[in-house]
Chains A and B, each alone.
Chain A
């Protein structure tokens, strides 16, 4: 069984063709929460996912130093983490290529019997 990798609300290996419905909404910005989330993320995966969804905008490809104090930067991360949502699409495992559907904003990670 392959272990598929998930990056919380930011999805790995999502390309434009795979996300058929993306929604951007306004969510209250909380710099403290965003700062604390950054060390938990794999930055390159975040950038790749955002890019795949067409929402990279000006998010830097490398994590900047001293980001805690940089409100501008934190707001960009906030947008991608909490404001951009895939409603319909799929997640793809970078190892196996297996796709997991996303319906109404919820990914379904259940494997079929043959794959278990």
Chain B
């Protein structure tokens, strides 16, 4: 190990929140790529751990990532680490003093926090651990309220809440750089949003989606199933201009029945634009249209920097497309009540696999090269296999993260990146693609979703009958 370490040899410690675990790595990687940096973890990297050590970054890189991430809680300049306090001490004493001294000056103030993952520590024990660090050359004064520099001792007691060890499995010490944006989960909560619908995306996941999509300031982002605009709220928060489309006239115009418990009808200020206004992003509102995402309304050519969307699964919102009476054998009537003229002509069931084929094809044609498509794919877990994820020759699959919804259903956040412009031959490529037929089976997603529920209900009824008849 070199005695003099340049700033780029530094390791940074990212402390991540322990939820949406599968979504964290793609988020951090996407944010790193916005800085032109690779994800380069330290040895013994464990994705599920809340502590990640990263190499090859500058402090500016780390601050930029923390300015966007909702998965990471905080970031630290790592000064030392080890499996025991003795190892930590050795590691800290090896850390170049010239890297430490700017932050330990006599005339500055500091504070040391102790954080324990998977264990609660009494106040006295925390103080003891801080005292054990007296070998560090702190020259300044302690200021608990407003210190110039904050340091953290972080202890990892493992991932099993039922088996918490006496001593930590791993310990880190570092200088605090900045916190992540988890506060956005609270400040942008759907609970306090002016305009919501039954399937408005929760704030945390919408920001994760915007990050997976590498949305940046001055981008143009589009949501073809915009609903109440939750995804546009998140994307505009990061400075992108936003537009969307939905087949549901009432939702786009902010009319009809309210989704809130104590409210019957929507108020006058309930629409997508009002949501952006609530968070100060109204200037980034481009347009929304009432239209059918299965029909072509956009001009040929590259239009969008990112497409971020949550297509309907046919469970809480119906999947619909326009079509003529002769086309639809089983035309599906939409669930929702309509205020006045529904403005939607005959609705057909929009088969799930068609939604995704159309979405991928649309993205291949209308995204910039390097632009991303991020969308949710509903899955019936007992039958899921990786081959079901739709592919397209112009799009590279970047990530596939599962969020479990129930014992037999989940949804997967799929991220794809456009790598080339479509050619004539690509249009029909998907028909010979094995993935095409595999997902077709998922058209029955609705039936499978409801069959699981009715099977359980049936079992319940049978049980009740048995008991009523005095048992078998």
Please give the residue numbers on chain A whose beta carbons come within 8 Å of chain B beta carbons, in ascending order.
Answer: 1, 3-9, 27-28, 30, 32-33, 36-37, 40, 42, 82, 103-104, 106-114, 116
In angstroms, Cα B289 to Cα A4, docked, is 14
Q: A36 touching B218 by the CB < 8 A rule?
A: yes
Q: B343 touching A110 by the CB < 8 A rule?
A: yes
Which chain B positions have C-beta within 8 A of A6?
289, 297-299
Which chain A positions have C-beta within 8 A of B295?
1, 109, 111
Q: A4 touching B301 by the CB < 8 A rule?
A: no
**Interface contact tally, CB-CB below 8 A:** 83
Asked if B361 CB lies within 8 Å of chain A CBs, one says no
Which chain B positions have C-beta within 8 A of A36?
218, 220
In angstroms, Cα B243 to Cα A59, docked, is 24
- Secondary structure at the B interface, as helix, strand, loop or mixed, is loop
Pick 13 A–B contacts, CB within 8 A, sort by A.
A9-B287, A28-B283, A30-B218, A40-B301, A103-B253, A104-B253, A106-B252, A106-B288, A106-B290, A107-B290, A107-B291, A111-B322, A116-B345
Render B276-309 as a binary contact track against A, CB cut-off 8 A, 1 for contact: 0000000100111111100111110111000000
Q: B241 touching A33 by the CB < 8 A rule?
A: yes
Which chain A positions have C-beta within 8 A of B217?
32
Q: A116 touching B322 by the CB < 8 A rule?
A: yes
Which chain B positions have C-beta within 8 A of A37?
220
Q: B283 touching A114 by the CB < 8 A rule?
A: no
Q: A42 touching B299 by the CB < 8 A rule?
A: yes
Contact of A113 (CB < 8 Å), options: B243, B287, B291, B345:
B345
- Given A8-B286, A110-B343, A32-B253 contact (CB < 8 Å): no
In angstroms, Cα B126 to Cα A32, docked, is 50
- Given A109-B297, A111-B322, A8-B218 contact (CB < 8 Å): no
Asked if B25 CB lies within 8 Å of chain A CBs, one says no
Q: A8 touching B324 by the CB < 8 A rule?
A: no
Which chain B positions have C-beta within 8 A of A1?
295
Other contacts beyond A28-B283, A113-B323: 4, CB < 8 A? A33-B218, A40-B220, A110-B290, A114-B324
In angstroms, Cα B323 to Cα A27, docked, is 39
Which chain B positions have C-beta within 8 A of A108?
249, 289-291, 343
In angstroms, Cα B253 to Cα A103, docked, is 9
Q: B253 touching A110 by the CB < 8 A rule?
A: no
* A3: nearest chain-B partner, CB-CB: B296
Render B305-338 as a binary contact track against A, CB cut-off 8 A, 1 for contact: 0000000000000000011110100000000000
7 A-B pairs closest in CB distance? A109-B291, A33-B218, A108-B290, A9-B287, A113-B324, A32-B218, A28-B283
Q: Which of A30, A42, A108, A116 has the most CB of B within 10 A?
A: A116
Contact of A109 (CB < 8 Å), options: B243, B289, B302, B327:
B289
In angstroms, Cα B288 to Cα A6, docked, is 12
Q: B218 touching A106 by the CB < 8 A rule?
A: no
In angstroms, Cα B301 to Cα A110, docked, is 22
In angstroms, Cα B424 to Cα A25, docked, is 43
Chain B min CB distance to A40 (Å):
5
In angstroms, Cα B286 to Cα A30, docked, is 13
Which chain A positions have C-beta within 8 A of B327?
116
In angstroms, Cα B296 to Cα A114, docked, is 17
Chain A min CB distance to B347 (Å):
10
Asked if B30 CB lies within 8 Å of chain A CBs, one says no
Asked if B247 CB lies within 8 Å of chain A CBs, one says yes
Q: B289 touching A107 by the CB < 8 A rule?
A: yes
Asked if B438 CB lies within 8 Å of chain A CBs, one says no
* B272: nearest chain-A partner, CB-CB: A106
Asked if B190 CB lies within 8 Å of chain A CBs, one says no
Chain A min CB distance to B229 (Å):
12
Contact of A7 (CB < 8 Å), options: B291, B299, B322, B324:
B299
Q: B346 touching A113 by the CB < 8 A rule?
A: yes
Q: Which of A27, A32, A42, A111 has the most CB of B within 10 A?
A: A111
In angstroms, Cα B299 to Cα A74, docked, is 23
In angstroms, Cα B292 to Cα A13, docked, is 21
Which chain B positions have C-beta within 8 A of A28?
283
